[in-house]
Structure 1
Amino acid sequence: MSLLDKPVQEPQSAPGPLRRNRDFLLLWTGAGISLLGLRASVAAYPMLMIFYESSPAGAGMVAFAALLPQLVVQLPAGALIDRWDRRRLLIVCDLAGLLAMAAVAGSLAAGRLWLPLVMAAAFVDGTAGLFYRLAERAAVSHVVHPAHLSSALGQNEARGQAAGLIGQPAGAALFSFGRWMPFAFTAVTHLVALGTLLLIRKPLQGERTTPTGSLRTEVADGVRWVWRQRFMRTAVGLIAGSNLLFQVLALTLALIVKEDGGSEMTVGLIFLVAGLGGVAGALAGSRAAGRARPAVVLAGSLTVWAALMLPVALTSDPYLLGSLLAGMSFAGALMNVVAGVHQVRITPEPMQGRVTSVFALLGSGMASAGALAGGGLLAAFGTQRTALGAAVAMGLLALVAVTAPALRDPAGQVRMPRSEEI
């Protein structure tokens, strides 16, 4: 058996409680703090350009620079994570983010704003964050016992949801005290995350062999591996389609609120409630991953999304909209954990970065397409028809999930080992 065919090695010793796993807690905490800082700076970029420079065009350019790594860096990042030492890579990511944010904070504190500097810093910090997330995801299985993998990934998903909830208002609040403060805060979070990394004792990767092919060849190997997995290939296609529809729904919901006389604050509160649903779903996901088959969870989530999308076309009540979105977020976060556990378990260790990057690229790419499609659909058909169309399309995805042979194949529905109590 070649190294690429070997799954992640599973130690045989009995695990202690996950809450006492020092290295996991350090990795989890550092990555969470770093992600919180990234969310705060991303929230501050448009305010900086609009309120300080009065430049909507500049805000768009900075947003483009921050999102560009998702499209151009994702696949090569996955291959490089499988080549490079993960601990050193995570350290370099924190150092790069620290220097980029310190440069912006220092420039603003001195009373200067240079658009190329902000764009470059946004790109560097976004690239560092992308590498960090992929490397940390691949490293988790090396700091936790296999029996704790579901719980660990569930906590990671909950942490991501919470960082999104806290980071956006934190960035806005810090900006109100000083334009430089969100970026200084992000620099400090990178420094704290760097400190936690240096304290981790366990290796963050398995045995490595010297790369023999080009970077392009290794990226292609990752794409081919995903394509050969019938279950994962079908599942990622369905999830990518759902991401497109959710972007359409997000734009539709915001327009519904505006047409009903609501404000940006109303939209923010709706998404806050949705985020709380996501946190709850992530915490439930670790238990679901130990009991449910991935195909059942996927089909169930798509069905729930279709059922909850339909009433969005029929109401403008913000409380009901928030409740509907919270239900969708609960199902989505739960599915993310179950799918993540399944992917980590079946992916050979030397390909963890590449496989994760393929899934991430498809998800982010379809989200971008969804934002573009949503604007055109709303302009052409209005909110009600667009919401109904999104619900019908999600229902068709659910039907595919129920009937697709690849998802009904027992080989693609491996039941996860039951998680230990945290």
Structure 2
Amino acid sequence: MGRNWYLLWSGSAISALGDGIFLAALPLLAATLTQDPKLIAGVSFFGSLPWLLASLPAGTAADRYDSRRLLLAALWIQCALMAVLAAFHSAHIAFLYGMAFLIGTAENVPRAVGQPLIKATVENHLLERANGRLFASQAVALQFVGPPLGGLLFAIAVPAPFWVNALTFATAALLVTRMRTSRQPRPAKPKVVEGLRWLMKHKALRTVTVVSATTNLCIAMTMATLVLFAQQRLGLTNAGFGAFLATLACGGVAGGLLAERMLARYRHTVAVTVVLIPLMWLGIATLARDLPTVAVFAVVSSFCTAVWGVATAALRQRAVPTNLLGRVSSAQTLITWGVQPVGALLGGLVADHFGLLAPWFVAVGLRTAVGVVSLKPLRDHFTGAALNVHLAASPEQDAAVTLPEESR
């Protein structure tokens, strides 16, 4: 892993810090404007709606244009949007919806170009290590450092977290500017639907996508009113809410750093993560009444999520041809992240009618059902005979893709 990788890694970590600050500050800002669960859930809805609308166009752009330049443009746009939000933070909640939508739209580009850039800057046999480090650093910045800092800055001055967030995006852009990547041959007019069609024909990635989409739907349900859950059930202050979000990072950091070793050593690692995640959510719903108890379940859940992410990211990067990686990754994003606005709406409605614990119970039931159905296919793909075979890249085009070690 050379200079380009470390610049990309550093820029990603710094922008993730800004995202973590934003993660805590945005719902706190919404809570100053209204205490209605449906209206607060609307912030999550409009923030996640662009994953449904802009994912495929972003992936097409990533396969057609220079990934580094696209990333730079997105970072500077996010910087400008954060500055606008900081300047007009006291506006109506409808303004907050609009800003959440624009910021979410801009976020599609870094996610789309990230996969091609990682593949271009990291040798194939080091993908697990690179993805593990990336997950760990993002967990530290996005969940451990960012949210408490966002809550603290919000307590000091309402616009402060958004100004700091703008600064993180500017710093990340300056780091990416120093990257030097070679130009890759790209299709003149890549078709938007090709990535989605390829994904649907690849059995392993299709199964992974279904499980990830269900997980994200359930997380969106619980996150939509999480600030009210923290304030009313756990009795947390604004700064305490940031600390609450930070507990999620502890397991994510450990999972990212240990994933490479665990996936190589233990055959059923991926299947175990599928089982444990909804069990941890059930613990939060039934037993958690204070921050320490929540932390225990959240750490295990985030650890499993990080290991799952490392395994599935490496599978995707190896399986997908380079000239399709942007579109296939974005097709996955369309499905796995596009369900979030639905989850946010459901979370707000369920919490409003049945209480703040109800979204957690619904999430546990749904995620458990999908996990049970997907468990056998996942074991087949990540263990046993799948370890020594080559996956077909698509029915029309074979790509020699060996799943390394025991649990890829």
Q: TM-score range by the shorter chain?
A: 0.7 to 0.9
Using the TM superposition, name which of 256-265 and 180-189 deviates more. 256-265
Using the TM superposition, name which of 21-30 and 113-122 deviates more. 113-122
Unaligned runs of 5+ residues in structure 2 are 392-400
TM-score (norm. length: structure 1):
0.77
User: Match of 1:280, as an amino acid?
Assistant: A
Structure 1 residues 322, 403: CA separation in 2 closer, same or farther (over 3 Å shift)?
same
CA contact 1:271–1:322 (8 Å) conserved in 2: no
Q: 1:365 aligns to what SS in structure 2?
A: coil
Structure 1 residues 153, 48: CA separation in 2 closer, same or farther (over 3 Å shift)?
same
Question: Residue in 2 aligned with 1:300?
Answer: 272
**After superposition, what is the alpha-carbon deviation per residue over 1:36-85, rounded to whole angstroms, capped at 9, x for unaligned?**
2233245434555665x779899777665543322211111111111111
CA contact 1:67–1:126 (8 Å) conserved in 2: yes
CA contact 1:234–1:406 (8 Å) conserved in 2: no
Q: Aligned ranges for residues 78-93 of structure 1 at < 5 Å?
A: 78-93=59-74
Alignment equivalent of 1:360, drawn from 302, 316, 333: 333
Question: Residue in 1 aligned with 2:310?
Answer: 337
User: Match of 2:261, as an amino acid?
Assistant: R
Q: How many residues align?
A: 387
Q: CA deviation at 1:237?
A: 0.9
Q: Aligned ranges for residues 70-219 of structure 1 at < 5 Å?
A: 70-105=51-86, 107=87, 122-165=100-143, 166-203=145-182, 206-211=184-189, 218-219=191-192
**After superposition, what is the alpha-carbon deviation per residue over 1:99-124, rounded to whole angstroms, capped at 9, x for unaligned?**
3334445x45xx99688876665444
Q: CA deviation at 1:247?
A: 4.0
Question: In the aligned structure 2, how far is the partner of 1:261 from the partner of 1:336?
Answer: 29
CA contact 2:147–2:243 (8 Å) conserved in 1: no
2:403 corresponds to 1:415: yes
2:18 corresponds to 1:37: yes
Structure 1 residues 264, 208: CA separation in 2 closer, same or farther (over 3 Å shift)?
same
Q: Aligned ranges for residues 261-410 of structure 1 at < 5 Å?
A: 262-263=235-236, 269-291=243-265, 296-318=268-290, 319-377=292-350, 390-404=363-377, 407=380, 410=386
Question: In the aligned structure 1, how far is the partner of 2:226 from the partner of 2:91?
Answer: 34
Q: 2:173 aligns to what SS in structure 1?
A: helix
CA contact 2:24–2:245 (8 Å) conserved in 1: no
Question: Residue in 2 aligned with 1:3?
Answer: none
From the CA coordinates, give the structure whose radius of gyration is larger: 1
Q: CA deviation at 1:34?
A: 2.0
TM-score (norm. length: structure 2):
0.80
Identity of aligned residues (%): 27
Question: In the aligned structure 1, how far is the partner of 2:231 from the partner of 2:376?
Answer: 39
CA contact 2:147–2:245 (8 Å) conserved in 1: no
Q: 2:76 aligns to what SS in structure 1?
A: helix
Using the TM superposition, name which of 381-390 and 321-330 deviates more. 381-390
Q: CA RMSD in A?
A: 3.7
Structure 1 residues 407, 190: CA separation in 2 closer, same or farther (over 3 Å shift)?
same
CA contact 1:230–1:406 (8 Å) conserved in 2: no
Question: In the aligned structure 1, how far is the partner of 2:30 from the partner of 2:148?
Answer: 17
Unaligned runs of 5+ residues in structure 1 are 1-17
Q: CA deviation at 1:274?
A: 2.5
